[in-house]
Amino acid sequence: MWFSLLLLWWSVTVLTGNTTSNVFAVPNRPSVLNIGAIFTADSIIGNGLKTAIELAVEDVNANVRILNATRLNLIVQNTDCNGFYGYMQALQLMEKNKEVVAILGPQSSGIAHVISHVVNELQIPLVSFAATDPSLTSLQHPYFIRATQNDYFQMHAVASLIEYYKWRDVVSIFVDDDYGRGGVSVLSDALSKKRSKISHKALLPEKADMATIRGLLSEINLMESRVFVVHVNPDSGLQIFKVAKQMGMMVDGYVWIATDWLASRLDSSDLINKTVVQGVICLRQYTPDSALKSRFMSKWKNNSTSSPNSYAFNAYDSVWIIAHAIDKLLNDEGVNISFSPDPNLRNSENGSLLDFSALYKFDGGDQLLRRILGSNFVGLTGSIQFDSNRNLVNPSYRILNVVKNRMKSIGFWTDRSGLSVIPLHTSSAGPPKLADVIWPGKSNVKPTPRGWAFPGNNTKTLRFGVPYKASFTQFVSNGSDGIGGYCIDVFKAAVDLLPYDVKYELQLFGDGLKNPSYKQLVMSVENNTYDAAVGDVTIVTNRTVALDFTQPYMESGLVIVIPIKTKNSNTWSFLEPFTVEMWLVTVSFFLFVGVVVWILEHRSNTEFRGSPREQAITICWFTFSTMFYAHRETMQSTLARFVLIIWLFVILIITSSYTANLTSILTIQQLATEEIHDIYTLLSSPKPIGFQTGSFTHRYMIENLNVAEERLVALTGPEDYKQALDQKRVAAIVDERPFIELFLSTNCNYKIVGIEFTKSGWGFGFQKNSPLTEDITTAILTLSGNGQLRRIHNKWLKLDNNCPSLSDDSYYRLSLDSFWGLFVICGFTCFVTLTIFFTRLFCQYRRFTKTEQSTHNSGVGTTDQLQTLPPYTKAKSFKKLLSFVDKKEADIINSSIKTTPTTHISSGMQLSPGASSSSPLSDTVVLTGRNSPDRQDRIN
């Protein structure tokens, strides 16, 4: 700020001297108003600016609908692009022309920074058509109005391009001034939001010669990134591409993105050989086609031999912005165009010699500024409006690809819709899309360059270290077909998914006689011996410090494996299938069902009758013989048959379960080292522990688990594992799950105990900040999503494990809980059948007792004979009931039939011929027969 004021003082005092203060007043409707124009006429951009501005002033003065009788007078001041002379010439314009109401320009952002301080004090609006530095929009420059696109939006368009092509690191080449630094600063912020970054910022002096450019390009060519964003001045920018072409940096694998300076340079001259920038992507401010643009182009051709660039269009609109604002200002009543000395530019306190009396303040500058910011009309570049940040609304860019001698449009970028193939100013519903691009070094469309190369040599073949294993060759192997295995196939499949070609070779690390040290392999990648480690490399903390690892393509973790042995049989092994409760209930039901069947069959089936001893034997024999379906007794009762059907079903289930569980018990295997159940019991045990040679397990157990090194035994592979466990050289082996699962698939005498006590995975390790890391990670996720990773796994690691289950609960005794439903069904069936049986029996017994009582009461014998009969026993007599139950049902039925004629005899009828003294009712028959005393008395 002080430098600017000192510069103002020097220029005013030297060029004009101490001039007496005056007040300049212009009538309310002046006939002429002066507007200044500051630009570099002999520059690439400034070459056509004068023509565009003059055409605009001519059109404004010829238009009767604007400014009425007031004409615009253009005062042009030619300046240098940068430097002290540019500042001086800009100040000279304002000193010589005190009646200037607005200034067009400057062309340079650097000059705009200094001049804006002056116009702030003098309140003269500064409308720039080419100063694109984003920092000029700050509140520090209220009288600066940008009539062109802000580089803030252009850099976001570049960031969208980089995101679209999935590049992560870029190198920025920019001119070391306000314009270059401001744009690249915004680009860095925009890229960080899209997870990309500027890996190197290459500063170029304002007037760099060929040697300086060559040195700068030589430096960045040694870097990894091959995406270059060039943000320089159009006058010297083409020199960068000429040197790059000479150095072989405009060939396959390189990406060049230029900001809108290149399109302005190419548009301004048709004589430029565009093959120098073949394949470059550049941006141009988008100007829609319209009738106004067509008329402008017709006038341009009549006044200039060159072609207009986008800044010429902005310059044309800048004149109209000022014209519309002045017109609104003049139409307001009471507004005078006046100028007056600024008292702030005088120092009355210390008597300083600083005298700024030559500079006058525009009294209506603030009002004119508000009307400029309120512009709303359609100009050559489209809608002319300003947002709250004093930027033109709807910023948009056309994206071009330089092909041969023309610039081919491949898409557009707008602040609302992003990238698209058509110019939109609304949010786009679909994903970003651009047309095909011809990249440097190609004459036709090819895959997108990967955007990076290993430092120093773009044609370098990458070297990937592969562990040359002596065991577990399913993962990494070296056969007649070259290096292969599960890990290698996964890596090759991932590389095939990359959107660019990768030249690489796999180099074995180790001698193949023993497993190599993975620690040494990681170190070899870290010290640039290899570019990456490819194989079964576990991602652990200390390795991630040295390398960048991809997403794990296989989960892993340390587990414990110990030997198992066949369980020794004992004399009572056959009792183990059932629990004690199950045995007791089963035996009880055998006896219970036997008793139920005996009750149901005893009165009708002679096979269930006999002496008490014989009947007890029959019950036991029958019920236990049903276990083998060997019972020979034939069921007579329907109820007994129903009970037997249910019982045989229960027997079928119980015997089948017993047989299956007994088979499992007699062949089951159990842990031989029962004291080792997990990592805690292993650590508390003093026994030796085996691990795979070269694995991180050795270091992990020493440093993380505090296992004494003398307990650890290095083992080579599966055969060594087996021998060490069988010979009891180790009590357990600690290794990663993929290796152990492969080992157990062919060895059934060993078992994993506990759970994984680490969680990790296998990945591919690359050098730090390698772009391949993220791309391979994305490819691995794609392989996992489309199922190819599983197919590769099945190809190499399909584990056909026919070993029986080896868990601690591989068998268990069957308890009552598994069968209580069957027993309930069987018991309920027995209860129902017994209820039916005893109901029938009770009914028979009642009929029997009633018949017997009736016969007894209707007897016809004499008193003496009746006195000789045994006393009558009541039906409720328990002995009588047992006697009735024990009798055969057929006998009861026959007895009932014989009692039927007895009633008739007692009425005087003859005894039935079938009566027998052996009948249970024989006593009654005698009393009522032919020889009864009563009968004899009547005969006598």
User: H helices within 224-309, ranges in order?
Assistant: 234-246, 260-268, 291-303
CB 730 within 8 A of CB 713: yes
pLDDT score recorded for residue 197: 92
**Looking at the predicted structure, is the pLDDT value of residue 4 above 70?**
no
pLDDT score recorded for residue 888: 63
Q: How far apart are CA 598 and CA 605, in angstroms?
A: 9
Q: Do 786 and 663 have their domain in common?
A: no
893-907: average pLDDT: 49
Considering only residues 312 and 923, tell me which one the structure prediction assigns the higher pLDDT: 312
Q: Do 375 and 307 have their domain in common?
A: yes
**Residue whose C-alpha is closest to residue 851's, from 777, 920, 938, 780:** 920
Residue where a domain terminates, one of 770, 797, 824: 797
DSSP-derived secondary structure for 819-869? THHHHHHHHHHHHHHHHHHHHHHHHHHHHHHHHHHHHHHT----HHHHHTS
Q: Do 89 and 49 have their domain in common?
A: yes
> Which H helix or E strand runs over 732?
strand 732-736
Which residues are CB-neighbours of 588 under 8 A, at least 6 positions away? none
pLDDT band at 426 (very low <50, low <70, confident <90, very high): low
Which residues are CB-neighbours of 316 under 8 A, at least 6 positions away? 52, 53, 55, 56, 296, 379, 380
For residue range 742-795, list pLDDT tens digits in order: 999 888 888 898 889 998 999 999 998 888 898 899 999 999 999 999 999 999
Q: Do 155 and 180 have their domain in common?
A: yes
pLDDT band at 906 (very low <50, low <70, confident <90, very high): very low
Kindly state whether residue 574 falls inside one of the protein's structural domains. no
For residue range 195-216, list pLDDT tens digits in order: 899 999 999 998 899 999 999 9
Kindly state whether residue 927 falls inside one of the protein's structural domains. no
**Looking at the predicted structure, is the pLDDT value of residue 586 above 50?**
yes
pLDDT score recorded for residue 775: 87
pLDDT score recorded for residue 622: 72
**Looking at the predicted structure, is the pLDDT value of residue 2 above 80?**
no
**Residue whose C-alpha is closest to residue 122's, from 336, 362, 364:** 362
Kindly state whether residue 229 falls inside one of the protein's structural domains. yes
Kindly state whether residue 888 falls inside one of the protein's structural domains. no
- Distance linking the first and last C-alpha atoms of the chain: 173
Domain count, the chain: 5
344-364: average pLDDT: 60
For residue range 794-846, list pLDDT tens digits in order: 999 877 666 655 444 444 577 778 788 888 888 888 888 888 877 877 777 67
pLDDT score recorded for residue 653: 85
Q: How far apart are CA 21 and CA 569, in angstroms?
A: 124
**Looking at the predicted structure, is the pLDDT value of residue 868 above 60?**
no
427-456: average pLDDT: 79
Phi-psi region of 68 (alpha: psi -120 to 50; beta: other; left: phi over 0): left
pLDDT score recorded for residue 91: 76
**Looking at the predicted structure, is the pLDDT value of residue 708 above 90?**
yes
CATH number, domain with residue 210: 3.40.50.2300
Least confident of 237-241, 375-379, 699-703, 904-908: 904-908
For residue range 125-147, list pLDDT tens digits in order: 999 999 999 999 888 899 999 99
Q: Do 381 and 334 have their domain in common?
A: yes
For residue range 29-62, list pLDDT tens digits in order: 788 999 999 988 888 888 889 999 999 999 999 9
Phi-psi region of 914 (alpha: psi -120 to 50; beta: other; left: phi over 0): alpha
Q: How far apart are CA 522 and CA 772, in angstroms?
A: 17
pLDDT score recorded for residue 617: 73
Residue where a domain terminates, one of 646, 669, 692: 669
> Which H helix or E strand runs over 639?
helix 638-667
Question: Whats the size of the chain, residue-wise?
Answer: 940
Kindly state whether residue 523 falls inside one of the protein's structural domains. yes
**Relative orientation angle of helices 310-331 and 365-373, to the nearest 10 degrees:** 120
Q: Do 266 and 403 have their domain in common?
A: yes
For residue range 442-470, list pLDDT tens digits in order: 877 878 888 887 665 555 788 999 999 99
CB 754 within 8 A of CB 760: no
Q: Do 60 and 106 have their domain in common?
A: yes
**Residue whose C-alpha is closest to residue 593's, from 834, 835, 838, 887:** 834
For residue range 596-611, list pLDDT tens digits in order: 877 777 666 666 666 6
Residue where a domain terminates, one of 669, 695, 712: 669
Q: Do 273 and 162 have their domain in common?
A: yes
Q: Do 176 and 258 have their domain in common?
A: yes
| Mean pLDDT computed over every residue of the chain | 81
Kindly state whether residue 307 falls inside one of the protein's structural domains. yes
pLDDT score recorded for residue 913: 40
Q: How far apart are CA 395 and CA 850, in angstroms?
A: 118
508-537: average pLDDT: 93
Q: Do 253 and 400 have their domain in common?
A: yes
pLDDT score recorded for residue 803: 65
279-290: average pLDDT: 95
Kindly state whether residue 360 falls inside one of the protein's structural domains. yes
CB 593 within 8 A of CB 830: yes
Strand order of the sheet with strand 396-403?
A: 197-204, 169-175, 227-231, 255-258, 281-285, 396-403, 406-414, 418-420
**Looking at the predicted structure, is the pLDDT value of residue 479 above 90?**
no
pLDDT score recorded for residue 853: 61
Residue ranges making up the domain that contains 310 = 32-148+289-347+354-391
- Is the preceding peptide bond at 106 cis, omega within 30 degrees of 0? yes
Q: Do 125 and 48 have their domain in common?
A: yes
Least confident of 266-270, 366-370, 871-875: 871-875
Alpha-carbon dihedral sign for residues 232, 236, 241, 246: negative
pTM reported for the whole predicted model: 0.66
* Cβ neighbours, 10 Å, residue 370: 13
pLDDT score recorded for residue 578: 83
Which residues are CB-neighbours of 649 under 8 A, at least 6 positions away? 822
Amino acid occupying residue 704: N
Which residues are CB-neighbours of 475 under 8 A, at least 6 positions away? 469, 485, 486, 487, 535, 536, 738, 796
Considering only residues 870 and 143, tell me which one the structure prediction assigns the higher pLDDT: 143
Cα R_g (the chain), whole angstroms: 55
Q: Do 97 and 194 have their domain in common?
A: no
Least confident of 84-93, 636-645, 850-859: 850-859
CB 753 within 8 A of CB 676: yes
pLDDT band at 87 (very low <50, low <70, confident <90, very high): confident
Q: How far apart are CA 325 and CA 67, in angstroms?
A: 10
**Looking at the predicted structure, is the pLDDT value of residue 867 above 50?**
no
**Looking at the predicted structure, is the pLDDT value of residue 849 above 80?**
no
* Cβ neighbours, 10 Å, residue 537: 26
Structure tokens at 671: 């842990």
Kindly state whether residue 472 falls inside one of the protein's structural domains. yes
> Which H helix or E strand runs over 158?
helix 151-164
pLDDT band at 349 (very low <50, low <70, confident <90, very high): very low
CATH number, domain with residue 692: 3.40.190.10
- Beta pairing partners, 509: 467
**Looking at the predicted structure, is the pLDDT value of residue 319 above 80?**
yes
pLDDT score recorded for residue 632: 61
CB 212 within 8 A of CB 204: yes
Please state, for a pLDDT cut of 70, what percent of the chain lies above it: 78
